[in-house]
Amino acid sequence: MFRPAEITNTVTRAAKDAGFELVGVAPVENSPELEYFPQWIAEGRAGEMKYLEARDEQGRLKRASLAYAAPWARSVVVCAINYNTAQPYSTEIQTQSEENRERGWISRYAWSQQDYHDLAMQRLRRVEAAVRNAAASDDVVTRCYVDTGPIVERVVAKYAGIGWIGKNTCIINQKMGSWMFLGVILTSLELAPGLPAPDRCGSCTRCIDACPTDALIAPHQLDSNKCIAYLTIEKRGAIAEEIRSGMGRHIFGCDICQDVCPWNRKAPATNAEEFQALPELVNPALEWLADMDEEEFRRTFKSSPVRRGKRAGLRRNAVIAMGNSGDQKFLSQLEKLVGDSDEDVSESAGWAIRKLRDPN
């Protein structure tokens, strides 16, 4: 006899055994948060991320409802794993000291040697196996995703009780903070759901106030076109000049809105070996990145999320960071890069030279 509560308990134990710190079950139903998604897309807030506009056969945005993305699903198992490491935050290290001016910032989640998608998926598959074994039925359907499916993970994470959605649009847990990778398992089983976590942001607006490009246009509303993470990872081609100064020395992703969050002050560091930071990726040298050839890029980032930004994007970002560094030592290197075969690197180098010679 099918017993949802017993299967839910089995899945919870399996998630803990697989190394996930948090696990919960969300029901499959339309959430108020997703009602805004079509408008967000229509307003162009997704930038060039066309995959967010995936539609079903009826032309409906899949991410606007789980019923559109997976009409067979009845429950969502949500697992969360801590990736925080015992390293300084960008807000602590991105100062204008002589040494730090020569260095850029790679987002915290991309410091490890392997891609988090693969690392979290390996663990998630073990939980999926537990779901299927506990159901003891060949008719059970499951699908696993780690930031790879037509699902807004933070929304189902909220309704699974993993945490609340902060004003910076990240999922926040009262004890773990927001440094979490999420994995979801859609299943045709109707499991016992959890309860949504209460919103504990209160009147705090530190994330909104700290964003240097004003990408957080309102609480819980992000304009990707202004987001440093989007600009340094997803954006191809030239970046608008008016927004470059706000990018600071970020070269892949941005952690500012999480770094300033009070709930991350005492966020625990992970003991998982696979999430530990490679020293060369924490505050890396801009000179090294700007001159990196294709072979070195592949060797350095062969299993890293940084591959997503492409070598061209990484070099473009490093050149912009040089312009924002205020460090005149970069001028000679930038003058060479003006003649680079990559038009975006060349153009950005010209901008960086002008910025260093006339900061105002």
Q: Looking at the annotation, which residues are catalytic?
A: 147
> Quick check: 307 and 333 in contact, CB under 8 A?
no
Element (H, E) at 39: helix 37-42
The three-class DSSP label of residue 75 is strand
Give the β-pairing of 75-82 and 22-27.
antiparallel
User: What value, to the nearest 5°, has the Cα angle with vertex 101 and ends 97 and 106?
Assistant: 120
Longest dimension (CA), the chain: 75
CB-neighbour burial class of residue 179 (10 A; exposed 0-12, middle 13-18, buried 19+): buried
Task: Calculate the dihedral angle through the C-alpha atoms of 11, 154, 165, 15, rounding to the nearest 10 degrees.
Answer: 20
> Quick check: 82 and 268 in contact, CB under 8 A?
yes
Handedness of CA 115, 117, 122, 127 (dihedral sign): positive
C-alpha separations of 23 from 20, 172, 181 in Å: 7, 14, 12
CA distance 313 to 305: 13
C-alpha separations of 333 from 190, 249, 288 in Å: 60, 17, 11
C-alpha separations of 298 from 8, 283, 301 in Å: 42, 19, 5
Phi/psi region, residue 149 (left: phi>0; alpha: psi -120 to 50; beta: rest), is beta
Choose among 266, 270, 264, 268: nearest CA to 207. 264
Q: Locate tokens 């890069």: which residue?
A: 337
The phi and psi torsions of 262 (rounded to 5 degrees) equal -60, -30
